[in-house]
Amino acid sequence: MNSKTVAIMASGRGTNLNVILEAVKAGLCPVDVRLVITDKGDAQALDIARAAGVPNVIHVNPKDYKGREQFDAQCADLLDRHGCQWIVLAGYMRILSSAFVRRFRGRIINIHPSILPAFAGARAVEDALEYGVKASGCTVHLVDEVLDGGAILAQAIVPVFDDDTRDSLHARIQIEEHKIYPATLKRMVEEGFSVEGRRVIWAGK
């Protein structure tokens, strides 16, 4: 298995998927995106991946499986079949089963629109605004069995303005997401890292 082979799992518009594929095309992110999986047949991510020439673009329909574990097992088999070292979640809206996380422990990464551990969960941007924070941002982290709880790989900070809405703050966060996600992938495959307790230690050059 090549350390640069990547699968991307997405559910929706595919904005982070598109940014990663554009960075790969421009030579800024030296990964091989071999597989894109979506759980929704109408996900724009499917069209983005096909247009970019990803060799394997697959919709796995959850309705074809009895439960989350069977669905995840099918996805896991696809990941192994196509030799994917890293699993990158890009707007993937399904919670992964514990069995899936154990099978690929230390190899699944996600991006979340807050400075974790603050504001985990699906309402991160709204929760940050309601709490009254003056700064927010995004976090790239490893995925474990705790929702948005894995070790942190990278973070970026954005200011929160007094007149921010959910949409305006989220747009500012996404600008940083689109920088930090491909940059972190590049660093992962070029440098590598170890995890000591909760701390990610980058190997460096």
H/E run at residue 193: strand 193-196
> 141 catalytic, yes or no?
no
Q: Degrees (nearest 5) of the Cα angle 49, 169, 134?
A: 140
Catalytic hit among 59, 112, 141, 178: 112
Q: What are phi and psi of 124, to 5 degrees?
A: -60, -45
d(CA 153, CA 57): 27
Three-state secondary structure string covering 101-131: HHHCCCCEEEEECCCCCCCCCCCHHHHHHHH
d(CA 100, CA 108): 10
The CA distances from residue 29 to 46, 55, 68, 74, 104, in Å, are 21, 18, 32, 28, 22
Report the catalytic residues. 112
